Each structure stands twice: as C-alpha cells, then as structure tokens.
Amino acid sequence: MKITNVRAVPVRIPFDGEPYPGLSYTTYQPDRTGRLSPKRPSRVLDYVIVYIDTDEGITGVGEAQADIGFFGNTVEQVFYAVRDYLGPNLIGLDPFDREYIASALNWRGNSCSRAGIDLALLDLMGKATGRPVGALIGGVHHARLPVSKEIGGGSPDDMAAYCVEHIEQYNIKAFKAKIGGNPEMDAIRLRAMREAVGPEVSLRADANQGYRTAKDAIRFCRLCEKYDVNLELLEQPVAYQNIQGMALIRRSVDVLIEADEGCYTLQDAMILIRNEAVDVLNIKIGKSGGITNAKKIAAVAEAAGLVTVVGTALGLGPERAAKLHLASSTPTMLPHVEFSELTLHGALLIDADERIFSAPVDEDGCLPVPTGPGLGVTLDDARIATHAIMID
C-alpha cells in the first residue's frame, strides 16, 4: 500500500457566546485568550480535515485544530502546512511506516498539522486491518470513559449553578474550573462548586499560568484544603517557563500539580520530570503532534511514576474519537477525559455518530470508545461542505 494523495479541507464552525462563559479567569493576562480579529470578527472555531488516499482505495481521515489562542496556529498555517509542505512528502510512502513518517515530519512547530496527519494515518491503518485505533496503540483498557467539562471563571454562585446545569441537562459529572490571579476568590469559587455538586463529583482547577508567583498558587491549594474542596489537581498554576516555581508548588502542597502549556513535546516532559516539577502531564494530541508522540509522553510519565490526563482541545468527530482511543489504550491516564466541545458545537458526523459523540452523554456520564475500524467515526460530507471555507 502506498500513499497517493494528501488533501486538506478547512472548516469553520460558528458558535454563540464564549468557549468558557464567565468573567476573565486570570488577573494578570486578561486579554491573552482573545481570538477575534478583522479577519475573524465573529466567534468561530476553525479546523482542518485531513484526508490521506492510497493506491488500494482506502482513505484515512484525521483532523487538526487551528487555534491561535492556544496552539499559536491559524487555520491558514495549518492548511498550507498540510497541503503544500508536509503532505507532499508522504506521497509514495507506506502508511504503516508511521514512526518513519513521524520522524520525517518532526519539524519545529506545526504540531497541529502533524497531529492531523498522524490521526489520518492511524485511521487508514485501522481501516486497512479492520481494527480500531485503540487496538493498534495498546489495546482497549476501558470500553467507556467519563467526561469532564471546563467551567469558565465567574462569580462563585454562577460557577456552581453552571455545574448543576450540566449535571442535569447533559449528565456530565466532572468539572475543571478556570481560575488564576486571586487565590482567595478562586478557593471560594471551588468551595461553592463543591457545595453545589456534592462529594462524588470530580473537581479540577486550571490557572492557565494565571498566578504571578508560586506562593499565590500554594495559598490557593491550602485554602482549598481548608474548605474541604477535595481538589483532584491544579493545572499550570504559573508561567510554563517557571519550572522551579512549579517544583516549589509541588513540594509544598498535597494537590496534584499538572503541566499543560509547559508540556508540548517529549523533551518538555523530560525536563519537567527531571526537575520534579509535576505530578501529572496534560497530553493533547494537537500539542504533541499526534497520538504517536502522545503515547511516548505517556510512556516516560509512566517510567517516572507519574500519571497523565487527556486535556481539552476543542475538536470535531475525528478528534473526539482519537482522544477516546488514546485514553482507553493508556492505563496510566487519569479518568475523566476533558470534552468541553461537546456542549459548544456539533461533531460534523453522520447522524448515528453525531448523537453518540455529542451532548448530552449517557446517564453514567461517559462516552463509549469507538469499536469500528480506524477511528471508528464517519464524517458527514454534507455537513463538511456546509462549513468548508475557501483559503487563497
């Protein structure tokens, strides 16, 4: 089997409101998540669908995020990288030479473009062998995985009410609060959430580098202990470059400390591990450049006695399926895969898959791991055509 063509289709999904409704959740960087511009004046999310064709008539389908607010990639960058730079180098290669391809495409940056190609390759391999992706990358350890949802910063009452609303309307039973900047107020927010949802619901917190000093983050954790929040973990409390600050926080509190913005590559993971700066590594397929590299990060975390989390990275059907395959095939992953996109927009899948991989989830608060060949989901061509955009 040989690759004959690599295609890229950019799509744009409008949505109402904000991905994280509420007030700005960080004091010191209040404008850093702004995504509006003269070229994108309305609230939209962009993705690039990647298709890899072969001489045997089998096509693999992947997906790349295009989020300048987090990954630093515009939709134009991702589209051109896949179509004009990375994709042409795959022509004539065997798609099963995945490690060789990952190495050949391991250019600096372009992690989302590489991730889209990696997912398409895995989908292609699964379709060619009749096996789900999870079976190809470690086996399926869990048939269903619990869903977690992010909660935007706001007043304590509003954040608590938002959690209750999602439990009642969507059966979601785990939440991650967006915080940062004011440890006293942040702890009060988490206390209100805990009081509203009860003791069984998982609560995490994400500062998105929002605390100016390690001592602010330490104070927040200690207040959470005082208020009996039972916080599962605190994500990226200080700037990603402040590795010594992360290490100080980790040594000073009982709450698990997680790196997100500080952990893109396998080398980032090793630096954090060597400096004893984390308990948890947040793995996002778009950050790592695909599942191939994500599994390597999970492996070094396991070797160091750490755990990992599949973090929020907004996506369509292929990305949602890929997250489930990654989490279910990696036994050291913490439960509760983060799926904030479920309540934000559709997955652009055929009707049968759209219902399964969108909100509301089933009463157990879980999504099923796809069992069909490849990623195990099917995009709806008509829905793709409706949202496809032209790039010069």
Q: How far apart are CA 156 and CA 293, in angstroms?
A: 38
Between 25 and 368, the higher pLDDT residue: 368
Alpha helices in the chain (DSSP H): 75-80, 98-104, 111-129, 133-136, 156-170, 183-197, 214-226, 243-252, 266-274, 285-288, 291-303, 317-328, 351-356, 381-387
Query: What would you measure as the largest C-alpha separation in the chain, in angstroms?
Result: 63
User: pTM above the 0.85 mark?
Assistant: yes
Distance CA 353, CA 341 (A): 15
**Are residues 193 and 316 both part of a single domain?**
yes
Residue 28 pLDDT class (50, 70, 90 cuts): very low
Cβ partners under 8 Å of residue 351, min gap 6: 380
Residues 172, 123 within the same domain? no
The total of structural domains in the chain comes to: 2
Question: Nearest CA to 235 among 248, 246, 219, 227?
Answer: 246
- Please report, in angstroms and rounded to a whole number, the separation of the first and last CA atoms in the chain: 32
Residue 373 lies in a domain: no
Residue type, 306: L
Residue 311 lies in a domain: yes
- Considering the domain architecture, whether residues 322 and 185 belong to the same structural domain is answered as yes
pLDDT at res. 71: 87
Q: In this structure, is residue 344 part of a structural domain?
A: yes
Residues 122 and 237 both lie in one domain: no
Cα→Cα distances 354→72, 172, 342, 346, Å: 29, 17, 10, 7
Task: State whether 172 and 315 are in the same domain.
Answer: yes
Task: Indicate the pLDDT class of residue 38, thresholds 50, 70 and 90.
Answer: confident
Q: Does an H or E element contain 386, and which?
A: helix 381-387
Residue 58 lies in a domain: yes
Shared-domain flag, residues 306 and 160:
yes
Amino acid at 135: A
Spatial distance between the Cα atoms of 109 and 191, rounded to a whole number of angstroms: 39
Q: Are 277 and 250 in contact (CB under 8 A)?
A: yes
Q: Model confidence at 21, in pLDDT bands (50, 70, 90)?
A: low
* 261 in the same domain as 218: yes
For the beta carbon of residue 37, count every other beta carbon within 10 angstroms: 9
Question: Under 8 Å CB-to-CB from 236, ≥6 apart: which residues?
Answer: 206, 207, 208, 209, 258, 259, 260, 261, 262, 282
What's the average model confidence in pLDDT over 60-87?
94
Residue at 200 is within a domain: yes
Both 250 and 152 in a single domain?
Answer: yes
Q: pLDDT tens across 306-317, in order? A: 999 999 888 999
DSSP state of 305: T
Residue 370 DSSP label: P
- Do 51 and 127 form a contact (C-beta atoms < 8 A)? no
How far is Cα 218 from Cα 221, in angstroms, rounded to an integer?
A: 5
Residues 240 and 261 in one domain: yes
> Which pLDDT score is estimated for 70?
85
pLDDT per residue as tens digits for the range 125-175:
999 999 999 999 999 999 999 999 999 999 999 999 999 999 999 999 999
Is pLDDT of 25 > 60?
Answer: no
pLDDT tens digits, 169-197:
999 999 999 999 899 999 999 999 999 99
pLDDT on residue 37: 78
Q: Is 161 inside a domain boundary?
A: yes
pLDDT at residue number 24: 41
At 372, list the tokens. Answer: 């069909």
| Residues 275 and 190 both lie in one domain | yes
Same domain, 124 and 164: no
> What rounded mean pLDDT belongs to the chain?
93
* Domain span holding position 9: 3-130+381-387
